[in-house]
Amino acid sequence: MNTLRTAMLLAAMTALFMGVGYMIGGSGGMVIALLIAAGTNLFSYWNADKMVLAMNRAVEVDEKNAPEYFAIVQGLANRAGLPMPRTYLIDNPQPNAFATGRNPQNAAVAATTGLLQRLSHEEVAAVMAHELAHVQHRDTLTMTIVATLAGAISMLGNFAFFFGGNRDNNPFGFVGVLVAMIVAPFAAMIVQMAVSRTREYEADRRGAEICGHPLWLASALDKIAGDAERIRNPDAERNPATAHLFIINPLSGERMDGLFSTHPSTDNRIAALQAMARNMGGAPEAAVAPQQEDERQPSGPWDRAAQPEPPAEPARPKSNPWGRNPTGPKGPWS
């Protein structure tokens, strides 16, 4: 059902794009709009992953400089039957993660240092399983196309504002130009957000299947959402078009499950995962009850709450800020 809904939304976006071209320049404008859409989609198909990673200043890592993180992704990819994606880290205190790439063979996953520092070993595994679910479902390509079309529609709206459209071929006159300027970009934004929301629930479900524990992901979403409200992500704020790629919206003031949200409500997502855990015979809901603000402590990424606080680690060289020894608890990804 989600796949059919996404296909319908993509078709609506394409029709909207061509409709804007028709309002601005008649049949000739529609053809030009179609050519622009084809060109931008072709460019984004081959280069979108590089652009997104560069926007967030992601650094590629491997088993030498980030052994535990790399091993988690590798084990989960094997469990999901996926090729090993390129693995990146973003030096940012806000816990978050995203996936990108045109297909599973050319995919990349990225996590922030805040994610590794503030979540447990199991929660990190659940988050990366969610991102691998996006890769498996090819959501990254879908969202890239939608984002590109939305941007192109906004560009056409700006064109109509500055040039007023082709009055000789414009069948709607000033009304058509006004729709292209205001209504069409607004509608494109709604479609873009709707596509993103439909995919998050499905990625949650599949990610929980990959890691084997829905409550791990529920707990991770609760922690990430709470910290994302308090910790700003400057790179994401400068590039809001990439916000829909993250597991939790990294932008400030975007927490509603309404028309203008790029993500479903975190509470709704947690409730769905709790229901999934009950169906699987998992732990009771109290295991992932939201923590109070004063109880939310940024423990080490591989330490369980029942373990004593580890001794402070010596300062690490700047060239290897994320290297850790694989001491965390074993799980189904091992």
Residues with a known catalytic role:
131
Report in angstroms the alpha-carbon separations of 156 from 36, 56, 91, 181: 10, 27, 36, 8
Contact status, residue 90 vs residue 103, Cβ threshold 8 Å: no
Closest CA to 25 of 179, 187, 177, 154: 177
- How far does CA 183 lie from the centroid of its chain? 26
Rounded Cα distance, 180 and 80, in Å: 44
Q: What is the DSSP letter of 275?
A: H
Q: At 297, phi and psi to the nearest 5?
A: -105, 135
Rounded Cα distance, 221 and 211, in Å: 14
Q: What is the DSSP letter of 98?
A: E
Q: What is the DSSP letter of 246?
A: B
Residue 25 CB-density burial (10 A; 0-12 exposed, 13-18 middle, 19+ buried)? buried
Length reported for the chain = 334
Q: At 49, phi and psi to the nearest 5?
A: -65, -40
Q: At 120, phi and psi to the nearest 5?
A: -75, 170
The CB density around residue 163, as the number of other CB atoms within 10 Å, is 12
